[in-house]
Structure 1
Amino acid sequence: MNIEQVVQTAVSDLALGSVFTFDDLYGVVQQRRGRRLRIVELAEIGDHDGLCAVWLTTDEDDIIIHARTDSALHRQQFVLHELSHMILGHCDGDECTETDVLLPDIPPHTRARLLRRQDLDSDTEIAAESLADRLAAGIRGSAFAESRYFEVFG
């Protein structure tokens, strides 16, 4: 897998341009997936627990649950990483339909994603983090474009 090419294609397919807001991205992802998207902070978990964020699905919703952090940028990166998995189509189709009798009340595709999260050096995790970085840059560009940042700080 050529991760840079995959990420570049994903960015182009979003058709957001090089500068956009988080709300623009949120709307595009929700519309492309045809599902409601919810983002929820869970104060009971923190990055000390080894879990920053997780993407869960129900029949109607995509839900991103993220750890509490005082850093808005850190929190944004948690969410962008999970959005990147959605954008890249990770766990679409048969990829995450493994069965697991240990967690019978959790849908199979969700179980598979949760149980595979330990492989942080996999191509899918690297691609998701790379795309999240690109999305963060686009959002930062929007923040600067909507302000006098460049006039002030040149």
Structure 2
Amino acid sequence: MNSGVSVSAAVDELALGETFTFDELVAAVQRRRQRRLRIVELTDLSDRNGLCAVLLSTNAEDLIVHARTDSVLHRQQFVLHELAHMILGHEIDADPDGPDFLLPDIPAETRRRLLRRQNLDTAEEVLAETLADHLAAAIRGSAQQSSRYQEIFG
């Protein structure tokens, strides 16, 4: 699969145009997924811990939890990467033999996604990062500066 075509198709499906604000992107993702999306920074988590961000999903809402970093662009990329997985419809593989003893308080689907994220060379991860880069460029190109983007990314 050509990642450029997939990324273009994913962006086109959002119907946001060539430039958009962070708020417009979040609203489009919420509409598409038909559920609320919350974005939360965990101040005790650092990108130095090896976990930059994770997407948690329930039947009612999606939650992107991201690590604290002093770099605005780095934080943006954490969140946009997770949004890209949502936009691309990347699903969690069912693996009944997942290591539940490592993280017993975290649902099995979330554990599998966390552990799978350590391999950043998969086609799914490369595609998500490509889309995140495209989204970042579109947001930077937006003329509107006052939005939740400033609240989240400083």
> Is TM more than 0.5 here?
yes
- After TM superposition, the structure 1 = structure 2 runs for residues 4-83 of structure 1, keeping only pairs within 5 Å, are 4-83=4-83
Match of 1:152 in 2: none
Distance 1:69 1:107 in 2: 26
Shift of 1:146: 3.8
Shift of 1:35: 1.3
Question: Does the alignment pair 1:97 with 2:94?
Answer: yes
Paired with 2:51 and 2:108, the residues of 1 have a C-alpha distance of: 20
User: Quick check: 106-115 or 35-44, which moved more?
Assistant: 106-115
In angstroms, what is the RMSD of aligned CA positions? 1.6
Distance 2:9 2:109 in 1: 25
Q: Show structure 2 runs of 5+ residues with no match.
A: 146-154
- Could you tell me how far apart the structure 2 residues matched to 1:77 and 1:58 are? 23
Kindly indicate whether residue 120 of structure 2 is the aligned counterpart of residue 120 of structure 1.
yes
Deviation per CA, 1:73-132: give whole Å up to 9, x if none.
2111110000000000011xxx52222343555333322211211110100000000000
Separation in 1 of the partners of 2:39 and 2:129? 18
- Quote the Cα distance in structure 2 between the aligned partners of 1:108 and 1:28: 28
Identity %: 62
Identify if the C-alpha distance between structure 1 residues 18 and 37 changes in structure 2 by more than 3 Å, giving closer, same or farther: same
**Equivalent residues, number:** 142
Equivalent residue letter for 2:95: E
Secondary structure in 1 aligned to 2:95? coil
> Does the Cα contact within 8 Å between 1:96 and 1:108 map onto a contact in 2?
no
CA distance in 2, matches of 1:115, 1:33: 24
Write the letter of the residue equivalent to 2:58. Answer: T
TM-score, with length taken from structure 2? 0.85
Q: What's the CA shift for 1:21?
A: 0.2
SS at match of 2:45: coil
Give the TM-score normalised by structure 1.
0.85
Q: Which residue in the other structure is 1:3 paired with?
A: 3
How many Å separate the matches in 1 of 2:44 and 2:140?
29
Amino acid at match of 2:22: F
Q: Which has the larger radius of gyration?
A: 1
- The range that moved more, 69-78 or 13-22, is 69-78
- SS of the aligned residue for 2:37 comes to strand
Aligned-residue offset at 1:48:
0.9
> Which amino acid is the alignment partner of residue 130 of structure 1?
T
